[in-house]
Amino acid sequence: MKKIYTGLSVIVFFLMLAASLRAQTLIYHDSFNPGQTKWSNYDDESSNTKLERGKYFLTHKKNSYTYQGVAVPIEDNRNYSIETTVTHISGTNQYPIGLAFGSKDVSNLYYFAISANGNYLLAKYDQGVYKGIINWTVSNAIKTGDNVPNKLRIEKTGDQLTLMINDQQVAQTPMVQPFGNSIGFIVNMAQTAAFDYLTVSYLDKPVKVVVNNPVSASIAEIAYHTDFYADDQNQWVWKSTDSASTSLGGGVFKISRIAKTWFSGSFTAPETYVDMHRNFLIETEAIHYSGAQNYGYGLVFGADGARQYHFWIASSGFYYIGYTENNDFKTIVNFTTTDAVIKGDNEKNKLSIEHKNGQLHFYINDQQVDTYPDINFTGHQFGVSVSSSQNIGFTYLTFGYLDKPTPVTNKDTVSIPKINITSPEVTRGLRVVQSSNILHVAGIATDPSGIFSVVVNDIQATVAANGNFTADVPMSLGENPLMVVAMNMNMKKGAYTFHVVRNNVSATAQANLSQTVSQGKFYALLIGVQDYQDPNIQSLEGPITDATKLSQALTTNYTFLPENVTILKNPTKHRAFRIP
């Protein structure tokens, strides 16, 4: 019976092991074997790394810390584990050696570590500043001394983080918000540690992707919708900076801000056109994970390179409406308290903006909190943004129209916008000359369907309801080609080009030059012929008008006296060659 019992025990053990392995999905593993690892040897005045005998040796030489890591994408909505075995080789026995995780770089990371004298801690470096989460704690689970291995393991399960040493749970705490997706090792102060392996595994099965339908039944036509399960042409995820980072995973787009001033956001690409003049609805769902409680996060709308409108909430129970222009905040509705906000961390709030019948209506969790008159938007981009030092997630973003577009029955009748430049005065065949480094461009754009936007050399112009527009465009020395592009409500473009020459003569020098030149006399003979007596020659329309405009330019902008400028309009041979 004893043999049978032993055999059954072995069978049961392997069945349990197999079940355990099936429940886990390996994401990353490295045993530091030569020729099979991407980890490498390194040495400088502060630290040393060495691959030897299937171990990764990490030495720190100074009174600070060394971090070495590798990027491992982990879906934040999944349960996972990170594990290693660490051995204290030599040096001080009172400082941390262990696992680093949720790291962005050496200055922004979390770590779970032990000391060789029997203590453990959980801490982070935030912009290089140390912050303890679980301070030094004595534990009998740690095997003390040199050349003694200890297995370290962290498990993220739901919203909890479990810390284990040699398969014994030593602590549990709420899950932290990662700075980034790198994991690795950390060694503090003057000591050497060896790591046997590094393994990352999922503890659960993949979450089934359920694509949410647009949340509002009032939408008649979808212009854009994303559930953030994958990036698209708008490139929501951008390269991390010193102030913020972004990530996409498990149907959540996250913006993690470190800087305490200004804001960060992601907007749709300029190619994603939406009509901000039609009745529309913009909507998102935002989750406040951690960070400042009294600063805003939420929707961006009517945005372009110069101006962005914001509808924000704060997790302490406020909302805000305003815009940023030329790096300055302009308030429309200052932070106002409301019961519509679900307060606190890890809470979801739905934000909606409805543009209907000339009014903007602002909603939080389907409760209207404010109304504002229509805005003449100069931009058509939209998205999400986060201010101050906060970690925010967004689960979807929708832009939809509340009405159907007016049908175009004949595509050939779709018009192209017409553009008329009123400033500077543009005369055919002549270049505009100025000395200022800024050119003020003004004009009017017209189209039966209405004007959506006007851009001058990639500068978004300010456009009035009647199509009048203005823009201030930087000028370089020499010749500057300018292109004015107007877009109508059918997203059709019209363009007008002209040239401006900027000279390097100051206003004073120009005045002195004009005074010197004015001591002499200048004469001009302008001939405009557009009506021909020969029936075989087709008459023209513009020469006399051009000659008149040139005369005005010479007498206004140059030192030609009116009595010294003569215009001959359709002269005969006798008139053209008349001798006084």
Instruction: Give 128-162 pLDDT, tens digit per residue.
Output: 899 999 999 999 999 999 999 999 999 999 889 99
Domain membership flag for residue 4: no
Q: What is the pLDDT, as a whole number, of residue 139? A: 94
Model confidence at 4: pLDDT above 50: no
Q: What is the mean pLDDT of residues 172-197?
A: 91
Q: What is the pLDDT, as a whole number, of residue 519? A: 53
Domain membership flag for residue 20: no
DSSP H or E segment with residue 549:
helix 543-557
Same domain, 359 and 479: no
Same domain, 488 and 541: no
Domain membership flag for residue 291: no
Domain membership flag for residue 268: yes
Q: What is the pLDDT, as a whole number, of residue 580? A: 44
Same domain, 238 and 310: yes
DSSP H or E segment with residue 4:
helix 2-23
How many CB atoms within 10 Å of residue 567? 15
**Cβ neighbours of residue 60 under 8 Å, at least 6 residues apart?**
46, 47, 66, 187, 188, 189, 190, 191
Q: What is the pTM of this model?
A: 0.47
DSSP state letter for 537: S
Domain membership flag for residue 66: yes
Same domain, 313 and 178: no
Task: Specify the higher pLDDT residue, 574 or 172.
Answer: 172
Domain membership flag for residue 170: yes
Mean pLDDT of the chain: 82
Residue ending a domain, choose from 363, 381, 401: 401
Q: Residue 191: which region, alpha, beta or left (left: phi > 0; alpha: psi -120 to 50)?
A: beta
Q: What is the mean pLDDT of residues 466-487?
A: 87
**Cβ neighbours of residue 452 under 8 Å, at least 6 residues apart?**
275, 277, 380, 487, 488, 489, 491
Q: What is the pLDDT, as a whole number, of residue 512? A: 54
Same domain, 236 and 309: yes
CATH number (domain holding residue 107): 2.60.120.560
Give the model's confidence band at 101: pLDDT under 50 very low, under 70 low, under 90 confident, else very high. very high
Same domain, 520 and 496: no
Condensed to tens digits (0 to 9), the pLDDT of residues 230-270 reads 777 778 887 778 788 888 877 889 998 887 777 777 777 76
Task: Specify the higher pLDDT residue, 397 or 479.
Answer: 397
Confirm if 523 and 564 have CB atoms less than 8 A apart.
yes
Model confidence at 448: pLDDT above 70: yes
Model confidence at 313: pLDDT above 60: yes
Condensed to tens digits (0 to 9), the pLDDT of residues 117-126 reads 999 999 999 8
Domain that holds residue 341: 221-281+297-401
For strand 493-502 and strand 432-434, is the pairing parallel, antiparallel, or unpaired? parallel
Q: How far is CA 272 from the centre of its chain?
A: 15
Domain count, the chain: 4
Domain membership flag for residue 10: no
Task: Specify the higher pLDDT residue, 536 or 471.
Answer: 471
